């Protein structure tokens, strides 16, 4: 299916071999970029859910964590925005924080956040950059 897209482009536009490779790399770069944005969106949605649960069920823990707000969620009196301080932090991509045991029922969601953040950071973003660079390299070798 994915290889078919550049093949169709090749038939329609008379792409040569170099253009075919460039188109193939561009298709993969776009696919991985879309995967990156979906993973980031999923990670932020899960993060909002975690913060809402911590705020509702364990307000003292929420205060100890620095009263973080989410991407779309915030407690009354605060404004949520997507570029707020990055919580819970990159170190938690590998390690579970000490407060997770006292947070109650957010452990499963925290692991979902870890999975989505890892996919975005270590799979989709690097592959999108790699295939974008390969497409640019093919373009420069014409």
User: Could you read off the pLDDT of 22-42 as tens digits, one per residue?
Assistant: 899 999 999 999 999 999 999
pTM exceeding the 0.85 threshold for the entire prediction: no
Q: Would you state the pLDDT for residue 16?
A: 56
Number of domain units in the chain: 1
Q: Would you state the pLDDT for residue 93?
A: 85
List the alpha helices (DSSP H) in 1-142.
Answer: 4-13, 17-57, 59-64, 107-119, 125-140
Q: Would you state the pLDDT for residue 8?
A: 46
Q: How far apart are CA 136 and CA 132, in angstroms?
A: 6
Q: Would you state the pLDDT for residue 131?
A: 96
- What's the half-sphere exposure (Cβ side, CA atoms, 13 Å) at 7? 4
Q: Would you state the pLDDT for residue 1?
A: 47
Q: Under a CB-based contact definition with an 8 Å cutoff, are residues 104 and 58 in contact?
A: yes
Residues of the chain with pLDDT under 50: 1, 8-9, 11-14
Structural domain including 119 reads 4-140
Q: Would you state the pLDDT for residue 35?
A: 97
Q: State both tokens at 33.
A: 């970029």
Q: Would you state the pLDDT for residue 135?
A: 92
Q: Would you state the pLDDT for residue 11?
A: 47
Q: State both tokens at 19.
A: 């253009």
């Amino acid at each position: 299916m994915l290889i078919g897209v550049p093949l169709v482009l090749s038939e329609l536009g008379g792409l040569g071999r170099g253009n075919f490779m460039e188109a193939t790399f561009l298709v993969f770069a776009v696919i991985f970029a879309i995967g990156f944005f979906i993973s980031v969106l999923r990670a932020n949605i899960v993060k909002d859910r975690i913060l809402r649960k911590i705020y509702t069920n364990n307000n003292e823990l929420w205060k100890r964590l620095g009263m973080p707000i989410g991407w779309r969620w915030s407690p009354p009196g605060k404004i949520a925005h997507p570029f707020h301080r990055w919580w819970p932090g990159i170190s938690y991509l590998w390690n579970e924080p000490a407060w997770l045991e006292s947070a109650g029922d957010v452990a499963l969601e925290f692991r979902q956040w870890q999975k989505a953040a890892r996919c975005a950071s270590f799979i989709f973003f690097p592959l999108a950059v790699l295939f974008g660079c390969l497409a640019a390299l093919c373009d420069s070798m014409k």
